[in-house]
Chains A and B, each alone.
Chain A
Amino acid sequence: MEPITGKALVLACSAIGAGLAMIAGIGPGIGQGYAAGKGAEGVGRQPEAQGDIIRTMLLGAAVAETTGIYGLIIALVLLFANPLVKLLQ
């Protein structure tokens, strides 16, 4: 194995960080699934209100998506616009 430089260490740790950040995806998955279930239940009970129910469900699910997006942004920053490597110089 070739010797590891400081830059290589920062980049390797960035890969680990990007992976860790994505763990956040657990939350929106569980939460939005619950919302989908309640939406289906609501439509079953009140078929004529389907449009309203779906709208409310999607609005709430969009809010629940935000933290997943945050995790994704941090991971993408670490991978494609890494600010840490620039600090090394």
Chain B
Amino acid sequence: MENTNFIVIFLNWLLSFDKKALILGASAIGAGFAMIAGIGPGIGQGYAAGKGAEATSTNPKGSKHSTMIMLLGAGIAETSGILSLVIALILLFGNPLIKQDGDGLIIAVSAIAAGIAMIAGIGPGIGQGYAAGKGCEAASMNPDGSRPSTLVMLLGSAVAQTSGIFSLVIALILMYANPLVTGHQSTIIVAASTLGAGIAMIAGIGPGIGQGYAAGKGTEATGKRPKYQSNVIKTMILGQAVAQTTGIYALVISLVLMFANPLMKLL
């Protein structure tokens, strides 16, 4: 840290503050980042609302039933928005970071990284909303046989939630048990690794959208041919498992950065 570039100057400026002030400021930024996840449910539930309006116009008599399925699916699509809200509220009103021992700068970065990780919630929100719209459509086309298609919608939506759950886990680790806050030799590497652990989780947007699309198409197919529900589910789950891979990669890298960081050994 002998040389003075703008990063060193910036870090030294940050370190000139009281540790508490640094962590609280970062918590405010982290809370803001977490709320960006709200994009997802907004898009997804809007799609479901559109499908609900469409179903009401194509089958006015069955609109009560199709609207109920729409609200059920939209309720699931709300999950990621609620999770992010909870993380933001914890950062603002029950901040666990200011009580932690360790490097103030790393703890501050943990707060921001936790918020960034929650951005992944965009994915499940969009995907589950699409599934909700398709569930509503299937219910209006075939009101008597909507049970099998609704089941596929619920199952597919549950799978689409996984990447959002991964992000929640990483955010909670960062806030309550980041292993990097104590006992290290290079502040800059540890701070950047912590930030990277949060940024990696943004990948969860993809699996969330993709698996939700698969859930919607599975729901649509089951609505048309309920007899083949088990075949549809098998294919849907297989495809969703493949769509999950990049989310798993991100989770692995995030965990490696925090718990088995290879970069310190290279110093």
Binding site for B on A (CB under 8 A): 4-7, 9-10, 12-14, 16-39, 41-43, 45-46, 49, 52-57, 59-61, 63-68, 70-71, 74-75, 77-78, 82-85, 87-88
A66 to chain B, nearest CB (A): 6
Whole-angstrom distance between the alpha carbons of A20 and B18 in the complex? 24
Binding site for A on B (CB under 8 A): 17-18, 20-22, 24-33, 35-58, 60, 63, 67, 70-71, 74-75, 78, 81, 84-85, 88, 92-93, 95, 98, 122, 125, 129
Main SS of the interface on chain A? helix
B132 to chain A, nearest CB (A): 9
B131 to chain A, nearest CB (A): 14
Most buried by B among A14, A17, A85: A17
Q: Which residues of B contact A38 (CB under 8 A)?
A: 49-51, 53-54
Is B49 within 8 A of A87, CB to CB? no
A39 to chain B, nearest CB (A): 4
Q: Which residues of B contact A77 (CB under 8 A)?
A: 92
B37 to chain A, nearest CB (A): 7
Is A57 within 8 A of B50, CB to CB? yes
Q: Which residues of B contact A85 (CB under 8 A)?
A: 24
Q: Which residues of B contact A26 (CB under 8 A)?
A: 39, 42-43
Is A16 within 8 A of B42, CB to CB? no
Query: Closest 3 CB pairs between A and B?
Result: A31-B46, A60-B49, A27-B42
Is A20 within 8 A of B32, CB to CB? yes
- Nearest residue (CB) in B for A69 is B38
Is B47 within 8 A of A59, CB to CB? no
B210 to chain A, nearest CB (A): 18
Whole-angstrom distance between the alpha carbons of A18 and B33 in the complex? 9
Whole-angstrom distance between the alpha carbons of A34 and B44 in the complex? 10
Whole-angstrom distance between the alpha carbons of A20 and B116 in the complex? 11
Query: Given that A60-B70, A61-B46 are known contacts, is A17 also in contact with B28, CB under 8 Å in the complex?
Result: yes
